[in-house]
Amino acid sequence: MSVATVGAELIPGVRWRWADKALWVLDKPAGVSVLADRIGAPSLHDALKAWQDGEADRPRPRIVHRIDKDTSGLLLVALSAEMERTLGAAFEARSIGKWYVAQASAPLPGDPLEGAERHRITLPLKPGRKGRMRVAGPREAIRRRAQDGVWVHEVPPAVAQPEGQSALTVARHLGKQRYLVRLHTGRTHQIRVHFAWLGAPLKGDPRYGRPEDASQRAPRLGLHCHALLLPKIEDGLSRPRRFTSPLPEGFPEGVPAV
């Protein structure tokens, strides 16, 4: 199965980056929900169901991970139960590499170290109010320290709340408050919460920032899933392991290879 076989779009703006008989790599724009939302807007789940219902012999697409409605970029869709299990286990084992480009409204705290500003954020997360996530510890307890040329941002174990889930975000500053972010865990809203709690909410983020402020005002959320790296999958099919999505309009160009 090729991209030409399945078509150019599922719903406006959603495109295939790869298609074979077991796996799709899709690229969605900001504003499209992965699952159905409360306002009844078109969702990727509904579009996949409609595609399957279009012909009797089509496989059932299975969404194996999600990105926020207002985040753009790459998604993996399995076309078999076996691939769904394989990818699910890979996400659980954290063996799928995930890189995002984030446009922040302020710099993350810390001066450049050895000419390259890098950050390792280990703030644990837990559910907060009204569907938000929050750091499992007091904001004033967050500490930062320099270690091996990296700024480490952490909540000391003595004050971290026991219900918090571990979360690891690694960010490299690209200039102009833009960051290449490696997501090592996949907690809900992880990048958005980590940046906001460090005083650098993402541009255009109404949930964790104040988008009416001039520094945060933007036509969309400043978060894009830019690259995915798959583990080696032994299914007899030949496919690339690394996939990238071009930066959407409004994001400064010049992201280094990942």
CA 89/CA 76 separation, integer angstroms:
13
Beta bridge partners of 172: 118, 180
**Among this protein's residues, is 68 annotated catalytic?**
yes
Candidates 182, 173, 200, 176; CA nearest to 114 is 173
Which residue is it, tokens 């724009």? Answer: 29
How many Cβ atoms from other residues are within 10 Å of residue 185's Cβ? 14
Helix (H, G, I), strand (E, B) or coil at 195: helix
Contacts 24+ apart (CB under 8 A), 251-257: 251/101, 251/103, 251/178, 251/222, 251/224, 252/103, 252/176, 252/178, 254/174, 255/101, 255/174, 255/180, 255/226, 256/174, 256/180
Name the catalytic one among 27, 46, 53, 68.
Answer: 68
Give the CB-side neighbour count of residue 216, counting CA atoms within 13 A.
Answer: 18
**Measured between alpha carbons, how far is residue 176 from residues 4, 7, 159, 180, 254 in Å?**
38, 37, 34, 12, 11
Enumerate the active-site residues.
68
